[in-house]
Amino acid sequence: MIKFFRKIRQSILMENSTANPTLPAGRYLKYALGEIVLVVIGILIALQINNWNEIRKDGDLEQGYLKNLIEDLKADIDYTELNVLNRYDKKIKSLELGKAFFQGNYIPMDTLNFLAEIRYGGVFGNIVWDFKKTTYDELVNTGNFRKIKNDSLRKAIIDYYNYLNRTYESTSNKQSGYIPFTNSKAPFDRDNPESISEFDQKFFLESLKSGQFYEVTNLEITLAYKIHQRSITILQMANDLIKSLENHIKR
């Protein structure tokens, strides 16, 4: 760009020098100043072009992050639905069935099926959340959060992942004692859940009449309520954030 302006200046200077060999020194000074102006203009144009390129690169990077965040959020939704929400109703039913048996309001017709239901009451009772935080961690670790231009969108992203962190801290590896209790009454083989001896079946049933079973069942129900409510909030926040991200993606 600077070479282009310099060629124009040199051409003009040569034409004037040829036409008038006795060109005053003041005229040469004007041409020198003109060259400086042209050089400055060339530099400014080059800087502006460079700025445009940087803005375009930042925009492309931002778009990539937004799309990746959406994929991570969808993974969080799938995980939460599969591991908590789709199993919640059956879990609560199993726990309430155990309480009904303790209270003498339910008589099982099939011992093995009944004990299997009691065991199901412990599902996601020791959950370790597997949230997808790959893109968020990259944004934080690389300092590229500033690439997301919209302030409210940045805040929404931070709020969501802060909530995930609080959920992880408040529920992960928090056990009521229900799982250790039921596992201690009879060996459990996941590949062969019906392999319980008659003696262990009898011992298991008798243990369900103990006050300890009733207490850990109530604790497990309380924990299930908390995990379920957290899961509902995660789904709502994730879906809302996906909509916001999609609104900022160029079509």
Determine the pLDDT at residue 25. 60
Determine the pLDDT at residue 148. 92
Determine the pLDDT at residue 201. 93
pTM above 0.85, yes or no: no
Determine the pLDDT at residue 200. 93
Determine the pLDDT at residue 250. 81
Query: H/E element holding 68?
Result: helix 25-80
The helix/strand/coil state of 192 is: coil
Backbone φ, ψ for residue 23 (5° rounding): -60, 130
Determine the pLDDT at residue 36. 74
Determine the pLDDT at residue 30. 63
List pLDDT tens digits, range 39-76: 777 777 766 666 666 566 667 899 999 999 999 999 99
Q: Are 75 and 207 in contact (CB under 8 A)?
A: no
Determine the pLDDT at residue 167. 95
Determine the pLDDT at residue 88. 98
| Tally of CA atoms within 13 A in the half-sphere of 67 that contains its CB | 9
Determine the pLDDT at residue 187. 84
Q: Residue 152, Cα to own-chain centre: how many angstroms?
A: 17
Determine the pLDDT at residue 138. 95
Name the residue type at position 207. Answer: S
For the chain, the residue count is: 251
Cβ-based neighbours of 86, under 8 Å, separated by 6 or more: none
Determine the pLDDT at residue 78. 98
Q: Are 163 and 237 in contact (CB under 8 A)?
A: yes
Residue segments in the chain with a per-residue pLDDT below the cut of 70 = 1-35, 38, 46-58, 193
DSSP category for residue 148: S
* Spans of all domains in the chain: 70-247
Cβ-based neighbours of 203, under 8 Å, separated by 6 or more: 185, 186
For the chain, how far is it from start to end, CA to CA, in angstroms? Answer: 34
